[in-house]
Structure 1
């Protein structure tokens, strides 16, 4: 049977019918990405569509809305929870916190020692209890894990140690754990919408933000904050999320394909982002767009953050998960 991977160039109404099928009876699944074709997240979602279509072997329209056509990740998650407009997307765990306090713990600061540790945590599925909570409370399934970018602080002045960080006005994600950990490290964290960060730095509202290489490149943060302090404070996990309400309407064989494709597309995305991370920074630095600055006090920063992480894990009932993550060698 002919399989179709369609890229939509127009918007869709924010209320879909009660079925994922279109007027011709062909099942349609709508995905959303904030970014263009070159971004790792968009590539991961496109791969999901290809894999799901190939597995299903029947007519299936995968429509991927890019470049924030349907808003930002926070909206995507809300739409998936409501069963409208977006069926699948990659969403930062911080944007799931309205439904689950535990969600931002998935890639909280200093949770992972390095990329090898991060991979072992994912391979052992230690985050499953949190995924189960998100599914129960938001009716959104985490069907795969992309990500793999190491996050650093981009700033409008050189920052090389804890003294330089003191009082730094830095944009953080909306989940409370990000504000708590950055405040514990002596900074002045501020929650600002992702698409407003560039202007906020340009206008002096904040002096810095934090992101992985793909985000720094895509959003051109280097233009207003050309110094990259290599704090390596987090390694991203970006779940491929799928609407539970949509999933329940799909035929059983397509449901199985969605689960399979999600896992494989997540692994594909991790490989892309983790392998591209350093290359992107090297290219930007070679072009004179940013300067990587060695951060000398990462261990000191982590020591200040660890008690906050432990208290947060206790607060959200994730003490056992944190213990198992820390025990992985």
Structure 2
């Protein structure tokens, strides 16, 4: 947001208020990432900054708050919706469910068959109705779609089939579709904050979690849950989001530069994350930090989830989107 004023000198993110000024000062935009410099999210946000500066061609400041210094993605999205503290961030659609029931559908389990199918869905912009709903209700615009990590289940014991998976206490994202899907498979899903997963496994509160390779590496989940069941149950879509309250206050040419840069930075994100996925797991396995475990019943797992997905699509009026996704040939 343009220059900010701190009330009473408070530095905590919730205390930050957006007070735009059109004075001679240079525009400053604040971003947020849960991760450090090596994570694809952070690299993509830095790429976004570079591209905005390139396309606008005028002085502008970016401040990227890394390593969860402004909280977690759920908070980032709330701040953007309120028009304060965070102007742009990469956010899992699961954290948008407070504002839009349809948002978690973008990232639901077993929605994509493989990377080519996932790419085709994004290229055809099949989630446009969901993005429009999020923009209308949350006042946050998705200016690009990143992601591309294949999610698997990391556990503190070996899990190779549905029988061994039954009753597994697994951490899931906050959106209801995740709990419903994993419960249908026979697991015992629990919603826990992302930064609490490690300790929860260490203290036997849960047995497992699910994540893409970059997250497993960055959060060192392999230290407490070294067995990675290759369920390949989801391929991530991680929208690059921007506060509408901020965007509307910016010059038109800067708005155009932000939208253009958002699409390109998200393409960079998809290529970086999907390309690095296997390399990260191979390196971790070679170093003896985790064990990739073949999961033999993925097809049966998906069959258990299909009715849940169909019911969920009806509930959020997304049957048309689901049918178009399923009809794609990739």
Cross-structure match for 2:309: 309
Cross-structure match for 2:74: 74
Cross-structure match for 1:138: 138
Describe the shift of the 1:20–1:221 C-alpha distance in structure 2 as closer, same or farther (beyond 3 A): farther
Cross-structure match for 2:18: 17
Output one character per residue of 1:196-231: Cα deviation in whole Å (capped at 9) or x when no partner. Answer: 000000000000000000000000000000000000
Once the two structures are TM-superposed, the CA of residue 14 in structure 1 deviates from its matched residue by: 3.6
Cross-structure match for 1:6: none
Describe the shift of the 1:206–1:299 C-alpha distance in structure 2 as closer, same or farther (beyond 3 A): same
Partner Cα distance (1:18, 1:134) in 2 = 24
Once the two structures are TM-superposed, the CA of residue 12 in structure 1 deviates from its matched residue by: 6.1
Output one character per residue of 1:78-120: Cα deviation in whole Å (capped at 9) or x when no partner. Answer: 0000000000000000000000000000010000000000000
1:271-310 matches, cutoff 5 A: 271-310=271-310
Partner Cα distance (1:165, 1:16) in 2 = 47
Cross-structure match for 1:59: 59
- TM-score normalized by structure 2? 0.95
Cross-structure match for 2:173: 173
Report the secondary structure of 2:215's partner residue.
Answer: helix
| 8 Å contact kept, 1:34–1:71 | yes
| 8 Å contact kept, 2:153–2:229 | yes
Cross-structure match for 2:195: 195
Report the secondary structure of 2:248's partner residue.
Answer: helix
| 8 Å contact kept, 1:20–1:246 | no
Describe the shift of the 1:222–1:63 C-alpha distance in structure 2 as closer, same or farther (beyond 3 A): same
Cross-structure match for 1:206: 206
Is 1:104 the equivalent of 2:104? yes
Structure 2: segments with no counterpart, 5+ residues:
1-10
| 8 Å contact kept, 1:20–1:29 | no
| 8 Å contact kept, 1:201–1:208 | yes
Once the two structures are TM-superposed, the CA of residue 24 in structure 1 deviates from its matched residue by: 5.0
Partner Cα distance (2:40, 2:314) in 1 = 33
Cross-structure match for 1:5: none
Aligned residue pairs: how many? 319
Partner Cα distance (1:218, 1:120) in 2 = 29
Once the two structures are TM-superposed, the CA of residue 17 in structure 1 deviates from its matched residue by: 3.3
Once the two structures are TM-superposed, the CA of residue 20 in structure 1 deviates from its matched residue by: 6.8
Structure 1: segments with no counterpart, 5+ residues:
1-9
Output one character per residue of 1:30-87: Cα deviation in whole Å (capped at 9) or x when no partner. Answer: 0000000000000011111110111000110011110001000000000000000000
Partner Cα distance (1:153, 1:200) in 2 = 15
Cross-structure match for 2:241: 241
Partner Cα distance (1:43, 1:11) in 2 = 25
Describe the shift of the 1:32–1:295 C-alpha distance in structure 2 as closer, same or farther (beyond 3 A): same
- TM-score normalized by structure 1? 0.95
| 8 Å contact kept, 2:18–2:83 | no
- RMSD after superposition: 1.2
Partner Cα distance (1:188, 1:17) in 2 = 42
| 8 Å contact kept, 1:20–1:28 | no
Partner Cα distance (2:35, 2:220) in 1 = 13
Report the secondary structure of 1:249's partner residue.
Answer: coil
Partner Cα distance (1:18, 1:81) in 2 = 15
Partner Cα distance (1:79, 1:119) in 2 = 30
| 8 Å contact kept, 2:18–2:85 | no
Partner Cα distance (1:277, 1:38) in 2 = 13
Partner Cα distance (2:43, 2:179) in 1 = 30
